């Protein structure tokens, strides 16, 4: 049906060009809000009426007559109807809808993919500092980032997944001190353990059981290996630097286990410290000073971010000589651009909202050729976890929050991914553990996966009788005339456009909505028509349709990082 749409769009473009030179480039079909109005709609007559100084209804009649005379519309369109002030409602012939079955079966896992475009995109996500296990907020970010990466891959981008973390600074210092106290035999509640809530150091001490695990491993002089580092402890509780490096490596290893449980792999781990050791931060600061975008005030160095839409100028270098956190961010994004990533998407929590204007202002002030609006941001809210009807707030592993691994262990990787992707990132989400393990139609991931498994069961039964899947690519599809079959085929044809829109909008939740609709359309079709009937021609046509449906379900689930089981 993609070929059908291309042919019809070409015919529409040609007729629009005749009406108004240049209008052909805007040829498009829309999906009617009410299915009874037709399969596609065209609003071109209303858009052209004003510049052409014509009545939109009359222009619609003229366009309708012109389109009906084209070979493509004669071949694929059953009727064109005028509605309202000039809408064209297009009803496709059944044969046009049937074409999508052949396209899906011939393209397989690549159905919906666009050609390679020769451009690189970097998606940065998770980016958790190595100070503790990954919490469910990191899990939401991991699911969103990986799905967005997969979406861009379907659109022909070369995708690079990156994890950026702070391997120095105050948080790492607090981690080291917490581990050192544990290694010396102390624990939260002891007299030496900071308890004063007004003491910034005490407020940030890490009290989870995982700190005791790190301390014991350090005393055991263990070697830990993560994706980006390996380190052996010397067991000396007075060797602060050795404790620091071991604790960071240990927690990076723990985070790797979380990511492996989530079936997630990064192309690169980027260290904030490298921006300093490689001179990128200092180079960026000096460039901003040289460009006249900074000034000194009250012993601090300020960036003129108000020149780029920020509500006030921001401090770059504090009175103590240390840079504020957005300065290395600016240096980091300059490096992203220099590495050839023409597009960058950052997945971060909503608490990072304030950094967007500062980073973008710094990039424009640096004047290195980076376009305005670079990078893109997708901000997500945190996640509430409910189990047995009550909110779960703490984990034995982490001490103060539910970890990603907890959630996976309570449910499954598939459920966690699908559930965390089932809402827009910036909306609040409550993860219902009991629903995630329920085997019924109220559980969306079960509902979608069950549709796939149900189809596989039918195909297996047919294959056991001697059928071969290759047969289905060239069968006669004319028996697929029922309303449920046509609705299912029309929905299959929407998959490529849905992927494109979801990628353009950084909206993987659109994929979950589509898959639920597709599963519902399949279940309706299954209830309406038996598949394995005696009539061979009808049977093969119906088998081809459900095989194509299974393929698109599997393709969509793969974008989400969710499996498509053949048995349930």
Is the pLDDT at 108 greater than 80? The verdict is yes
Mean per-residue pLDDT over the chain, rounded: 93
Task: Find all residues with CB under 8 Å of 116, minimum gap 6, and list them.
Answer: 156, 158
Q: Whole-angstrom Cα distance, residue 177 to residue 194?
A: 11
Domains and CATH numbers, the chain: 2-92 (3.30.1360.70), 278-380 (3.40.50.620), 441-560 (1.10.730.10)
Averaged pLDDT for residues 179-186? 95
Q: In the prediction, which pLDDT does 326 show?
A: 92
Contact 97/1 with Cβ under 8 angstroms?
A: yes
Among 522, 537, 459, CA closest to 487: 522
Distance in angstroms between the alpha carbons of the first and the last residue of the chain: 32
At residue 404, the 3 state secondary structure works out as helix
Q: In the prediction, which pLDDT does 354 show?
A: 87
Q: In the prediction, which pLDDT does 201 show?
A: 47
| Cβ atoms within 10 Å of 45's Cβ, excluding its own | 26
Q: What pLDDT band is residue 140 in, cutting at 50, 70 and 90?
A: very high
Per-residue pLDDT reduced to its tens digit, 450-469? 999 999 999 999 999 999 99
Per-residue pLDDT reduced to its tens digit, 27-58? 999 988 887 888 999 999 999 999 999 999 99
Q: Which two tokens stand for residue 446?
A: 């079960």
Q: Which two tokens stand for residue 154?
A: 């379907």
Per-residue pLDDT reduced to its tens digit, 490-530? 999 999 999 999 999 999 999 999 999 999 999 999 999 99
Q: What pLDDT band is residue 207 in, cutting at 50, 70 and 90?
A: confident
Q: What pLDDT band is residue 104 in, cutting at 50, 70 and 90?
A: very high
Among 206, 186, 185, 202, CA closest to 194: 202
CA distances (Å), origin 128, targets 141, 167, 191, 228: 10, 10, 31, 14
Percent of the chain with pLDDT over 90: 85
Contact 150/561 with Cβ under 8 angstroms?
A: yes
Is the pLDDT at 339 greater than 70? The verdict is yes
Q: Whole-angstrom Cα distance, residue 239 to residue 244?
A: 9
Q: Whole-angstrom Cα distance, residue 403 to residue 132?
A: 9
Is the pLDDT at 197 greater than 70? The verdict is no
Q: What pLDDT band is residue 74 in, cutting at 50, 70 and 90?
A: very high
Q: In the prediction, which pLDDT does 478 show?
A: 96
pTM recorded for the entire structure: 0.90
Averaged pLDDT for residues 301-312? 95
Averaged pLDDT for residues 324-344? 96
Averaged pLDDT for residues 440-448? 97
Q: In the prediction, which pLDDT does 198 show?
A: 47
Is the pLDDT at 329 greater than 80? The verdict is yes
Per-residue pLDDT reduced to its tens digit, 382-402? 999 999 999 998 665 556 788
Task: Find all residues with CB under 8 Å of 65, minimum gap 6, and list them.
Answer: none
At residue 158, the 3 state secondary structure works out as strand
Q: Whole-angstrom Cα distance, residue 444 to residue 429?
A: 15
Percent of the chain with pLDDT over 70: 97
Q: In the prediction, which pLDDT does 302 show?
A: 97
């Amino acid at each position: 049906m993609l070929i059908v749409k291309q042919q019809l769009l070409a015919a529409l473009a040609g007729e629009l060009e005749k009406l108004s030179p240049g209008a052909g480039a805007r040829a498009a079909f829309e999906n009617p809000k009410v299915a009874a109005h037709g399969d596609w709609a065209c609003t071109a007559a209303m858009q052209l009426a004003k510049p052409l100084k014509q009545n939109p209804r009359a222009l619609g009649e003229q366009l309708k007559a012109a389109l009906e005379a084209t070979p493509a519309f004669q071949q694929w369109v059953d009727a064109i109807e005028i509605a309202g002030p000039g809408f064209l409602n297009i009803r496709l012939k059944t044969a046009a809808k049937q074409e999508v079955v052949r396209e899906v079966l011939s393209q397989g896992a690549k159905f919906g993919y666009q050609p390679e475009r020769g451009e690189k995109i970097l998606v940065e996500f998770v980016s958790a500092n190595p100070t503790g296990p990954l919490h469910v907020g990191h899990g939401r970010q991991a699911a969103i980032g990986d799905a967005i990466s997969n979406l861009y891959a379907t659109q022909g981008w070369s995708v690079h997944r990156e994890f950026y973390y702070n391997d120095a600074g105050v948080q790492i210092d607090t981690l080291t001190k917490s581990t050192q106290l544990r290694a010396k035999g102390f624990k939260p509640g002891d007299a030496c353990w900071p308890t004063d809530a007004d003491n910034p150091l005490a407020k940030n001490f890490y009290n989870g059981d995982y700190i005791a695990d790190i301390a014991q491993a350090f005393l055991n002089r263990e070697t830990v290996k993560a994706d980006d580092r390996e380190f052996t402890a010397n067991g000396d509780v007075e060797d602060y630097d050795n404790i620091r490096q071991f604790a960071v490596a240990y927690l990076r290893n723990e985070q790797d286990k979380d990511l492996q449980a989530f079936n997630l792999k990064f192309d690169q781990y980027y260290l904030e410290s490298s921006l300093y050791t490689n001179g990128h931060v200092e180079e960026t600061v000096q460039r901003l000073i040289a460009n006249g975008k900074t000034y000194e005030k009250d012993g601090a160095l300020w960036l003129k971010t108000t020149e780029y839409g920020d509500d006030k100028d921001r401090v770059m270098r504090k009175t103590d000589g240390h840079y504020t956190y957005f300065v290395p961010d600016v240096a980091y994004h300059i490096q992203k651009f220099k590495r050839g990533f023409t597009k960058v998407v950052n997945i971060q929590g909503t608490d990072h909202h304030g950094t967007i204007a500062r980073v973008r202002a710094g990039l424009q002030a640096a004047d290195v050729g980076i376009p305005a609006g670079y990078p893109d941001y997708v901000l997500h809210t945190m996640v509430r976890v409910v189990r047995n009807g009550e909110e779960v707030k703490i984990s034995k592993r982490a001490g103060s929050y539910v970890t990603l691994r907890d959630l996976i262990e309570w449910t499954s990787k598939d459920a966690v991914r699908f559930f965390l992707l089932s809402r827009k990132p910036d909306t609040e989400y409550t993860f219902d553990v009991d629903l995630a393990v329920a085997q019924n139609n109220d559980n969306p991931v079960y509902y979608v996966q069950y549709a796939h498994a149900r189809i596989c069961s039918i195909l297996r039964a047919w294959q056991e009788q001697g059928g071969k899947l290759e047969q289905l690519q060239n069968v006669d599809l004319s028996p697929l005339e029922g309303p449920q079959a046509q609705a299912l085929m029309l929905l299959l044809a929407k998959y490529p456009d849905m992927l494109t829109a979801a990628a353009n909008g950084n909206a993987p939740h659109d994929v979950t909505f589509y898959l639920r609709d597709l599963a519902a359309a399949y279940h309706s079709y299954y209830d309406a028509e038996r598949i394995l009937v005696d009539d061979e021609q009808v049977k093969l046509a119906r088998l081809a349709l459900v095989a194509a449906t299974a393929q698109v379900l599997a393709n969509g689930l793969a974008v989400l990082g969710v499996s498509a089981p053949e048995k349930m």
